[in-house]
Amino acid sequence: MSDMTARCTSCGECVRPCAFLQQHGTPAAIAKRGSNPDNLLTAYGCSLCGLCDVVCPEQLSPSSQFLAMRQQATAQGLVDLKPYKPWLTYERLGGSVLFRRDQIPANCRTVFFPGCSLPGTRPAATKELFRRLQHHDRSIGLVLDCCGKISHDLGLEKQFNTIFNRLQQRLKTYGITRVLTACPGCSKILKKHGQDIEVHSVYELLAEQPTSVPEVTLGTVSVHDPCPARFDLAQHKAVRKLIKLTGYRIEELPSSGTVTRCCGQGGIVEGCVPGTVRKEATLIGGEAAERPLVSSCAGCCETLSSVTPTAHVADLLTGTGSFSDKPAASFRRWFNRLLLRFSRLP
């Protein structure tokens, strides 16, 4: 926090687009309040979306400060984890042997790692993406597991390290050097913590495969770039290319690309500030001005579908979903993941 107190000029650039900073003051003002418990706990109102990092003229990273405050708070036992129990249970169960799967073909160096949300909400699309990858290269494998992002974002460092190290060790044992992700959250975690692992979004590889643009235009959509992927320019480009290949025109949102907004689910803020998801989703829906949205994050799709018709890029690409689909119920997601875990795959 001392770096922030010394270098932040309190210019207010990051405060303007952020409800959290509007409530608590500039990153320097928060840092100056020190490490007292009340101040550390305010960090749970920050979605860790990183928009402040992009707009800061001093190239500071307030989002890193707020993650460090969360880590300090949990290390000191200050955090009541009860409100976060549903998320932590989801992570623990989803990473158990019941839901883990490794399908590693001969000479496999690359695996598809779809994460938890896509298999839970879109098992058919997940299978189809894997089928297309296998069609492209038979040596591409599949790993179903949890990346530990929930523990990471809650500041539970020890718990996160246990989950992530288990995954990393398995990849290492198989000799995997490249991971293709479908979830921007997994992508961010793997890029930040994966040692010697090359990480790309699956959409980059799929966008490279030759396909022609359909002659009939199906309509105009806007793209919501998920906040964990705000710096992943290759993913932004690939997702847009794939959307166009499925027959849609794109009209960009004012908040897109590196300055995209969080859909409200980031940092599990909803656990301590109920209503955040609705508020943030409404802001993005307002920018879309009734145009349908397309995103590459299943979590964002669920949130945004409450304010405007929203599809996942995998829905359009594989023809397995549409803008009018309702988010899958919780029990259905577990069932979908189990089905995928035990189903026959190419």
CA–CA separation, 84 vs 45, rounded Å? Answer: 13
Per CB under 6 A, 276 contacts ligand SF4: no
Q: Which of 159, 1, 147, 164 has its CA nearest to residue 67?
A: 1
Of 5-13, 78-86, 128-136, 162-170: span binding ligand SF4 (CB under 6 A): 5-13
Per CB under 6 A, 12 contacts ligand SF4: yes
Put residue 110 in one of left, alpha, beta given phi > 0 → left and psi -120 to 50 → alpha: beta
Q: Which residue has the tokens 């500041």?
A: 155
Per CB under 6 A, 11 contacts ligand SF4: yes
> Does residue 302 contact residue 264 with C-beta atoms inside 8 Å?
no
Per CB under 6 A, 63 contacts ligand SF4: yes
Of 54-62, 70-78, 134-142, 249-257: span binding ligand SF4 (CB under 6 A): 54-62
Per CB under 6 A, 325 contacts ligand SF4: no
Q: Which of 226, 76, 70, 63 has its CA nearest to residue 151?
A: 70
Per CB under 6 A, 283 contacts ligand SF4: no
Per CB under 6 A, 260 contacts ligand SF4: no
Strand order of the β-sheet with 293-295 is: 248-250, 219-224, 293-295, 310-312
Of 4-12, 121-129, 169-177, 230-238: span binding ligand SF4 (CB under 6 A): 4-12
Type and span of the H or E element at 181: strand 178-181
Of 60-68, 134-142, 175-183, 317-325: span binding ligand SF4 (CB under 6 A): 60-68
> Does residue 249 contact residue 318 with C-beta atoms inside 8 Å?
no
Q: Which residue among 1, 31, 46, 88 contacts ligand SF4 (CB under 6 A)?
A: 46
Binding residues for ligand SF4, total number by CB under 6 A: 27
Per CB under 6 A, 66 contacts ligand SF4: yes
Closer residue to ligand SF4 in complex, CB, 26/320: 26
> Does residue 321 contact residue 285 with C-beta atoms inside 8 Å?
no
Q: How far is CA 143 from the centre of its chain?
A: 17
Of 58-66, 111-119, 237-245, 326-334: span binding ligand SF4 (CB under 6 A): 58-66
Please provide residue 112's backbone torsions phi and psi, each rounded to the nearest 5 degrees: -90, 125
Q: Which residue among 58, 80, 137, 252 contacts ligand SF4 (CB under 6 A)?
A: 58
Return residues touching ligand SF4 (CB under 6 A).
8-14, 18, 20-21, 26-28, 46-52, 55-56, 58, 60, 62-63, 66
